[in-house]
Chain A
Amino acid sequence: MVDARKVAVTAVTAGLCLPLALFAIILVPVPGLPAASGFWIPAGFYFVMTLWFGVWGALGGHIATFLAMGYFQGFTLQVWADGALGDLIAPLVALIVFKLMGAHPDLKDRKDKMAWLIGVPIASLVCGLWVHTVNLYFGVITWPFWWVGVLTYFIGDSLAVFIVGTPLLRSLTSYVKQSPMYIWRD
């Protein structure tokens, strides 16, 4: 059921990630690769929101990427949709890893930290494979760029999520835990 709080989580995530997606790509671009980033800062935020609030956070990241890519580079709809779907999939993969390992996003015990260290690279890799394989089959990139794209995505997203997301999870999860929207219960 959709209620105001869920809409607020999606809206805040999208609102936070949109300017970051538009203006906060520090490293890159990779010539020949549309929408590739070596340090995708918004990922740090929508991963965190997804680990706290579930699919509503991921949806915010998805909306932000879709809007940012459309404005920024004049890409075709396929590239917007592809990248935005990738950014919907990635945090959900990390969420699934946390669920499978029985970990929690406060990163307090060893299991939580392992889930974070394993889940983020897996999520980034899955997402990179999705985005650039779709790009390849739509003829947006060629084979020689496929692995460069996947590698860029893997490193760029993982690095940003670790650097941006870790302090947010460590410092804010104790507050978020008190919210009824928090999806983890001990």
Chain B
Amino acid sequence: MVSYTMLFITSVYMLVAAVIAIDFLERRALREEFDRAVKSKSFLIYLRVFKVLMEAAVLWLIIAFFGQILMGWISI
């Protein structure tokens, strides 16, 4: 039986992962528009790079969470 805490955390993680996946698709679709916008607003480069790095960090934290359960470090 999966605990309520585990179910809740997993649901949040899955939604976060879905948001990141949708953001990835949106970035691909708007690549040309983004390149045009960057010419007048260069700070958008930083926003995009930092956002993608943070998304990657979140994905790694999710992987690490389940990895640590598998390794027996933590339990729920």
Contact = CB atoms under 8 A, between A and B. Distances in A.
Interface of A: 5, 8, 12, 16, 19-20, 23-27, 41, 45, 48-49, 164, 167-168, 171-172, 175-176, 178-180
B56 interface: yes
A16 B52 CA distance: 11
Interface of B: 38, 42, 45-46, 48-50, 52-54, 56-57, 60-61, 63-65, 67-68, 71
A178 B60 contact: no
A26 B46 contact: no
Nearest to A173: B49
* Chain B, interface SS category: helix
B45 A168 contact: no
A25 B73 CA distance: 10
A72 B54 CA distance: 22
A72 B50 CA distance: 26
A8 B46 CA distance: 10
19 contacts: A16-B53, A19-B61, A20-B57, A20-B60, A23-B65, A24-B64, A25-B68, A26-B63, A27-B67, A41-B60, A164-B60, A168-B56, A172-B53, A175-B45, A178-B42, A178-B45, A179-B42, A179-B49, A180-B42
Contact of A26 (B42, B48, B53, B71): B71
A19 B57 contact: yes
B52 to A, nearest CB: 6
A41 to B, nearest CB: 5
A175 B48 contact: yes
B61 A24 contact: yes
B62 to A, nearest CB: 10
A175 B63 CA distance: 26
Given A49-B53, A175-B48, A180-B42, 16 more contacts: A12-B53, A20-B61, A23-B61, A23-B65, A24-B60, A26-B71, A27-B67, A41-B60, A48-B53, A164-B56, A168-B53, A168-B56, A175-B45, A176-B49, A178-B42, A179-B46
Contacts of B56: 45, 164, 167-168
Contacts of A25: 64, 68
Contacts of A23: 61, 64-65, 68
Contacts of A164: 56, 60
